[in-house]
Amino acid sequence: MPKVTIAQNILAVNENIAQDIHQSLTARGIRALNVMSSPGAGKTTLLERTIERLRGQLTIGVIEGDVETSADAERIEAAGAETVQINTRGACHLEAHMIRDALTQIELADIDLLVIENIGNLVCPAAWELGEDARIVVVSTTEGDDKPAKYPQMFAISQVMVVNKLDLLPYVDYDLHKVKRQALAINPNLRIFEVSCRTGEGLDAWCDWLIAFTRGA
C-alpha cells in the first residue's frame, strides 16, 4: 500500500516538527492553542473579543491561517495582538513546518499565549499536530446542530468546544442540548463554553479559563 506509507511518512515528519515546536515554546514558558472550526463559525471574532478583554492580563500572539487574503490577520492585529499571516494557496489545513516558519517572525519573548487560527475546515486540520498544548473547536448556532455527529474526529481530538453566536439561538433551528450531548458522547472530557461575541455572554468564563490555562492551572 504505497499511498498509505507515504501518508504515514508525511504525518510522521509533521509530528516530529510539531514536537520540536512544542518543546521550544514550553522552554520559553509559552502556551499554545490550535483553534479550529468550519468557515463562518466566528473564530476570528472570538479572538478579537478575547484579545480585547485580556489586554493587560495576557500578551497574545496569533498565527492566522487562511487560503487567501490577510483580512482576518488585519482584524486581529487591530485588536492588539502581534500577528503573522499564513496563506496556504489552496491547502485545507495548516502544517507544523508552516508554524515553525511563522514563529521566526514573532517576538516570542513578549508572548504568554500563542493562538493558531487554523483554516476553516472540520476535517483536515484534525489530523495535523502543530505543536499546540490544546485544541479548540468552535461551532456556532447558525451552522446546524449536526456537526459533532458528522465530524466526530474533530471533537474527539479537541479539549475544548466553544458554542458561538448564542444570541441567535432564538432565531435558528438549533438544539444546543443535542450538540452538547453528541459532543460529550464522543469525548466525555470535552470542556464546553457557550458564548456570544455580540452580547459578551459567556466570554468572562472563557477568558478566565484562558488565563488559568496559560498560567498552567
Name the residue ranges covered by the structural domains of the chain.
2-214
pLDDT for res 1: 40
Per-residue pLDDT at 188 exceeds 90? yes
Q: Tell me, what's the pLDDT at 8?
A: 66
Q: pLDDT tens-digit profile of 193-207?
A: 999 999 999 999 999
Averaged over 75-102, what is the pLDDT? 93
Fold annotation for 2-214: Rossmann fold (3.40.50)
**How sure is the predictor about 5, in pLDDT bands with cuts at 50, 70 and 90?**
very low
Model pLDDT, residue 7: 55
122-166 per-position pLDDT tens digit: 999 999 999 999 999 999 999 999 999 999 999 999 999 999 999
User: Which residue is associated with the grid cell 466570554?
Assistant: 203
The pLDDT assigned to 133 comes to 98
Residue 187 contacts residue 155 (beta carbons within 8 Å): yes
Cell numbers found for residue 98: 508552516
Nearest one of 146, 143, 136, 132 to 183, comparing CA atoms: 146
10 has pLDDT over 90: no
pLDDT classification of 91: cutoffs 50, 70, 90: confident
Q: What is the mean pLDDT of the chain?
A: 94
Q: Which residues contact 111 (CB under 8 A, 6 or more apart)?
A: 30, 59, 60, 61, 82
Is the pTM above the cut of 0.85? yes
Over residues 16-49, the pLDDT tens digits come to: 999 999 999 999 999 999 999 999 999 999 999 9
Which residues does 35 contact at the CB level (< 8 Å), separation at least 6? 43, 46, 47, 115, 116, 117, 118, 135, 136, 138
Instruction: Using pLDDT thresholds of 50, 70 and 90, give the confidence band for residue 174.
Output: very high
The answer to whether residue 4 scores a pLDDT higher than 50 is no
Rounded Cα–Cα distance for residues 30 and 50 (Å): 17
